Amino acid sequence: MTNDYKDIDFNQLKKGGFIRQQGPDLFIMRLRSIGGHLTSRDLENIARLARKYGRGEVHLTTRQGVEIPGVRLADYQALIAEIQTLQLLPGACGPRIRSIVGCPGKEVCPNGVVDTREMARQVDQAFFGRDVPVKFKIAIAGCHNACTKPRENDIGLQGVVYPQLAADRCSLCGLCQSICPGGAIKIIADRVTIDRQKCCGDGACVASCPTGAWTAGARGFVLYAGGKMGRRPRLGDRLFDFIPEDEVIPRINSILQVFIKYRQGNERLADTIERLGSGGFRELIPPLSREEVAAGGRD
């Protein structure tokens, strides 16, 4: 690094996704997607920026972002100006909330039961880049297949839809019983029953019912908290069995507040939950007020 750069705040650059890499005076420009969504025009523009400012290549990150390696510090201002003009989104690094990972959701995936793209947009708008004591990661999955690995993130949302039965439309064909992955649906003495504790919220009964007897009831998310990878990987705990879509933002906010208040040292959320116990941490989270839900949980 030359002396010309001795007064530059590299931590501030890192906050905006401009990260030092191997090699003298070389940086990576990290761009983010929201839930993995990029347009074909975005990809064309990223390719052009990589040729102009980098070495003509990109790296796809595990958080559905794009990194342009080989950027010179002297080109930073010009590159950022073009990124803003092209309406691309810089990423982030360091102790802050990282890019929101999401699957295609019900708009694309046959298994999806929630609109993950819209939820990712809301979560990104509310939380991305917020300064927190340590890095913090959020992932959203649209169904029980959990392709985005919600349990490996600090907070993971997994979409569910819980069915309700219009018994007068049921023909007792038994299809729902045969396809229910959790064995929650049973036909006993010509009567359909469902064990809500076994229902995984996958919506298969709703999607396949030939008479429309099964319909979508409550739609929302299971919330996992305390997942992480790294040297001491840990799967997140199932902190809330069901959160309606309009309560996701304030609920994440309340978890963040508890974490920031009760964490010790360099703890990640996983470490704080492990120390306090899942039940103990859960008890510290206050119930949401109507005002919080109406405001979307934003500070």
Span of 60-64, 68-72, 241-245, 285-289 with lowest mean pLDDT: 285-289
* Position with higher pLDDT, 211 vs 298: 211
pTM of the shown model = 0.92
pLDDT single digits (tens) 217-252:
999 999 999 999 999 999 999 999 999 999 999 999
C-alpha distances in Å from residue 284, one per residue of 68, 107, 225: 42, 36, 14
Average pLDDT, the chain: 94
Distance CA 254, CA 239 (A): 13
Q: What are phi and psi of 222, to 5 degrees?
A: -85, 140
The residues pairing with 240 across neighbouring beta strands, listed in sequence order, are: 223
H runs (alpha helix) in the chain: 10-15, 40-53, 76-85, 116-127, 175-179, 204-208, 248-262, 269-276, 278-284, 290-295
Q: Residue 294 burial by CB count (10 A; 0-12/13-18/19+): exposed, middle or buried?
A: exposed
Compute the distance between CA of residue 81 and CA of residue 84 in angstroms, rounded to an integer: 5
Cβ atoms of 115 and 141 closer than 8 Å: no
Start-to-end C-alpha separation, the chain: 39
* Count of alpha carbons within 13 angstroms of residue 213, beta-carbon side: 19
Local confidence band at 11 (pLDDT 50, 70, 90 cut-offs): confident
